[in-house]
Amino acid sequence: MAVDFVTYQWLVDVHIFGVFVFLIAHGVSAGVGFPLAKERNRERLAALLEFSGSSYRVMTLGFWWILITGLILMTPLAAIPYNRVRAMLGIPAPMRRKKRPTASPGSDDELAAALAKISPIPAAAVGVVGLAVLLYLRLFKPL
């Protein structure tokens, strides 16, 4: 099916809009990571995590928007052979995995140890570098 340039460009713009929606909502969770690592008050931790979770629906909507428009722009044929290989290896297809049971609440020491392991800087750096690469590819089209 051939798509004229105007339609294709419109789909690209709609796809990019989905990226913006996803990034704005995802930024909420990324921003919460910085105070979360230093906080020790359980009520404030719960509030921060609730705030982070509040953006989940919009982030999911943006993700699906990106995915659907990306599939329209690219090719939907890659999932079929990949899923066949996954089935041969006994690996479940994405989005079909069983949910894990929730863990029981830990002690204050376990909570402190888990919080001490949180470092939002690497995740934020990956996000910034990823955006920079995408922007470079979009602007200069080197490939």
Alpha-carbon gap, residue 131 to 74, rounded angstroms: 20
Neighbours of 23 (CB within 10 A): 15
Between CA 137 and CA 124 the distance in angstroms is 20
**What's the pLDDT score for residue 6?**
77
Q: How many CB atoms are located within 10 Å of the residue 22 CB?
A: 20
Q: pTM of the predicted model, to two decimals?
A: 0.49
Report pLDDT for 77: 41
Query: For every one of its 143 residues, what pLDDT tens digit does the chain have, with 9 covering 90 and above?
Result: 455 677 777 877 888 888 888 888 888 888 888 898 888 888 898 888 888 888 888 888 888 888 887 776 654 444 555 555 556 666 676 655 554 344 566 677 877 777 777 777 776 777 778 778 888 887 887 77
d(CA 12, CA 24): 19
Q: Which residue type, as a one-letter code, is found at position 136?
A: Y
